[in-house]
Structure 1
Amino acid sequence: MITISLILERFGAYMERHIIAISGGGFSEMEGAFIDQYILKIKRKASPLRIAFVATASNDAQSYIGKFYNAFKCEHPSHLAIPDFELATIQEVVNSLDIIYVGGGNTKYMLDVWRKTGFDEVLKKAYEQGVILTGISAGAMCWFEHCYTEISESEYGYFEGLGILKGALCPHHNDSTRKKYFDKWSLKNSTTPTYPLEDHENLHFVNEQCIAKLETY
């Protein structure tokens, strides 16, 4: 099993920019998931970490937010709801965090809201300041240049992601319908780096380079 200690040993203790893309699992499915503990250890220090949940993709579902607070109750958890994105101090608030954790749901809706409110640029600036970005499903694929996923119950389509990372990621690639559509799109866009991940697979990027493939549990 890959541990954060091995990562630090290989790449050095000081790593400026981190993105962890989670295909499935994590706190929404089980307590103490390995991938969540791994994320915390990247920036672990003596005091609890400041970690904020962004549940835009689920339209700020309260049950989802509640699971986050329960999972990270030993840290300093908070959440950023859609109305918060237009606060005059939102950049300072986000820059003060250690980790931003983005939840799953409707990726296109989430990105549309972020762009309308300017929260997309807030996240990019915070990332440059060393705030760790992570997320599951929609919160994993959004960091990439391209998103190809379902846009309704019966339709798949392409739209632009935030473009921090090159290429496109497909979470839940073990789902036969998703796999069929994504693989077909990938063949038509063969020059685009793609990352098809099954539900137990996740990726760790440091300074926009993929350095590790991780297990969820």
Structure 2
Amino acid sequence: MDRHILAISGGGFSEEDKAYIDEYLLKIPRKREPLKIGFLATASHDAEGYINKFYDAFQTEQPSHLTIKDLESPNIQEVVNTLDLVYVGGGNTQYMLEIWKKTNFDMVLKRAYRNGVILAGISAGAMCWFETCYSEKTDQGYEEFEGLGILKGSLCPHYNDEERRMAFDNWATTQTNRTLYTLEDNENLHFKNEQLIAKIIT
């Protein structure tokens, strides 16, 4: 069974109606019936407005969402395993990963991925799948922290932002023999079985 990850740098349903990259995502499973899509807004502290935008964008599918409280549910693995897609929203990457690891939801996602559940996400939800993240820590500047490690290397979304680009480029000089990806807000990466197969520019 093929495994897929779609890393979205910017755009998507939160910023535009019928976003091309979301349409691209829906075609990956190659199913005719409505897809079961679970949204995770952990990185934005379960922001209600963000969750509402998700439901509006995917109302013709079978949308659902998982709150931070839901991640501790005893049957969370079964719930995630029934999904076709997991869509992870943007926000504070480090906070999100800390919550996932604290609740063991990181392992839930990895097992679901191995079982064929497609993983996708924007910004924080694009960065988290990699071995290493380099991003903001609240207002204290940027720092390196561990990602989920499903994909090799590290990804910098929003590379068109000057401050982020300079910080990442400076950090990158200390990284030897590591695969580094940089994406501007209209650029996205599609990985199949942990190998990059497409760069989608929208």
TM class, shorter-chain normalised? over 0.9
| 1:1-217 to 2 correspondences below 5 Å | 16-216=2-202
Percent identity of equivalent pairs: 64
Separation of aligned partners in 2, 1:33 and 1:190: 36
Mean Cα deviation higher: 189-198 or 94-103: 189-198
What secondary structure is seen at the aligned counterpart in 2 of 1:174? Answer: coil
Cα distance in 2 for partners of 1:144, 1:127 equals 14
SS in 1 for 2:13: helix
Moved over 2 A (4+): none
Q: After superposition, what is the alpha-carbon deviation per residue over 1:20-79, rounded to whole angstroms, capped at 9, x for unaligned? A: 000000000011111000010011322100001000000000000000000000000000
Q: 1:34, 1:215 within 8 Å by CA — same for their partners in 2?
A: no
| Structure 1: runs of 5+ lacking an equivalent | 1-14
SS of the equivalent of 2:173 reads helix
> How far off is 1:88 after superposition?
1.0
Q: In 1, distance between residues paired with 2:32 and 2:175? A: 46
3-state DSSP of counterpart to 1:78: strand
The one-character-per-residue Cα deviations of 1:70-102 (angstroms, maximum 9, x if unpaired) are 000000000000111111110000000000000
Q: CA deviation at 1:143?
A: 0.1
Report the Cα offset of residue 192 of structure 1.
Answer: 1.0
Within 2, Cα distance between the matches of 1:189 and 1:30? 35
Q: Which has the higher helix share?
A: 1
2-structure distance, mates of 1:157, 1:102: 21
Point out where structure 2 has 5 or more consecutive residues left out of the alignment.
none
User: Cα distance, 1:152 vs. partner?
Assistant: 2.2
TM-fit CA distance, 1:153? 2.5
- The question of whether the paired residues in 2 share the 8 Å contact of 1:57 and 1:103 is answered with yes
SS in 2 for 1:27: coil
Mapped partners of 1:215, 1:76: distance in 2: 27
Determine the C-alpha separation between the residues in 2 that align with 1:46 and 1:173.
35
Q: Is the 8 A contact 1:17 1:208 kept in 2?
A: yes
| Matched length | 202
- Amino acid of the structure 2 residue aligned with 1:77: P
Displacement of 1:190: 2.7
Q: Distance in 2 between matches of 1:200 and 1:35?
A: 9
- Alignment TM-score, normalising by the size of structure 2: 0.98
Q: What is the rounded CA distance, in whole Å, between the counterparts of 1:115 and 1:46 in structure 2?
A: 35
> Is the 8 Å Cα contact of residues 147 and 160 (structure 1) preserved in structure 2?
yes
Q: TM-score under structure 1 normalisation? A: 0.92
Rounded to whole Å, the distance in 1 between the matches of 2:71 and 2:21 is 27
RMSD between superposed Cα atoms in Å? 0.8
| Counterpart Cα distance in 1 of 2:139 and 2:30 | 40
